[in-house]
Amino acid sequence: MEVEAKNSSGNSSMYSDVNLQELNDEEVKVNIGAIVFISILMILGLLGNSSTIFIFLKKYKPSTYRTFILCLAIVDLATCCLSMPFSLIILKFPIMFPYDEMCKGFQFLTFSLCSGSTLILVTIAADRYRKICVPHGAQISMRMARYICILDFFLASVLSWPCIVLFGNKHYETTLHNISGTGCYYSDEFWNTSYPVKYNYFLLSTLLVTFVALLVIYGLIGKQILHINRKRHPNQQMQLSVQKVTRKLYTNKNYCPSESQGNVVSQYEVNEKTEVSVYFTSLFDLTDIKERQSPCEPYKTFIPQKEDDSLTRSTLKRHRSNTTLTV
């Protein structure tokens, strides 16, 4: 195989790539970690995004949320099918990348897909904010959601167009006499200019703005959710999980607890020492469980303070002969 390269004087020459191939293989060994990592991400992305597209198409009804998720999954799937394999090619041929046009095209595609995915994430966050924090305001319609996806792609292309100009074949000096390798990076024309640095700063600024926007939006969403839960349960602290708490009550027919023990021990009309368990969820705290009858009455139950909890009262009455009571 013959590869065209430039010597130190700038003239083109044809040479055997045996020695250059050896140098390229050495560079590949350095990049093996990145190659394995990208390969794993590509496989997981193909499986995950394909499953997401299938599930949302088959199981979910049309909605703005469904539209945005499908749009995001399609963009990420395209990244796994196009951009990641191209990145593997660059890592496989770090100093033997021959095609300048391919470098420009795939770099533009990679930056566009990544930028589009980021913009869609911001769009999803904004849609959730409208639905949770401004539920009675104007919401995004299905038609508008499609237009927003198209707009995100357009903005991503605008942000990525400098890649077509800045990227290309970059010639690297090697240890071989008068021979340089070529890689896909910022081209020789712009390598010693300030444009690559400025573009990198621009991309970094865009990333930081996006991160801050997502942080602020989801912070407001979380604050609103906490406010709604506190308003719904003003006298109780809402817990995220339902807990099952067991209180063991040891009773005896001839035992009558004192007033201070009234909230700990219950008197049941039984002839033997019995273990009684009361189950309740995290929506009711121990302080909300009170006895409706005096401690020395034959039958006594633990039920919540809510007077309208008829279901709980009837359930306890049906199980008054049992030793396990459920609240």
Task: Report the pLDDT value the prediction gives residue 314, as an integer from 0 to 100.
Answer: 55
Residue 241 in any domain: the answer is no
d(CA 320, CA 323): 8
Per-residue confidence (pLDDT) for residue 25, from 0 to 100: 85
Q: In the prediction, which pLDDT does 56 show? A: 94
Same domain, 191 and 284: no
Calpha distance 156→193 (Å, rounded): 24
Q: Which of the listed residues 186, 201, 232 is the one where a domain comes to its end? A: 232
Residues 127, 211 share a domain: yes
Residues 68 and 43 in one domain: yes
In this prediction the pTM is 0.63
**Residue 242: inside a domain:** no
- Is residue 133 within 8 A of residue 228, CB to CB? The reply is no
Note down the domain range covering 62. 2-232
Domain boundary pick from 232, 262, 282: 232
Query: Which of 206, 232, 258 is a domain's end point?
Result: 232
**Cβ neighbours of 12 (radius 10 Å):** 8
Give the best-scoring range by mean pLDDT among 49-53, 99-103, 261-265, 278-282.
Answer: 49-53
Q: Say which residues have a Cβ less than 8 Å from residue 261's Cβ, sequence separation at least 6.
A: 295
Cα–Cα distance for residue pair 209/307, rounded to 1 Å: 52
293 pLDDT higher than 80: no
The two tokens of residue 291 are: 């006895």
Residues 74-78: contacts with CB within 8 Å, 24+ apart? 74/49, 75/113, 75/116, 75/117, 75/120, 76/45, 76/49, 76/117, 77/45, 77/46, 77/49, 77/50, 77/53, 78/113
Residue type, 193: T
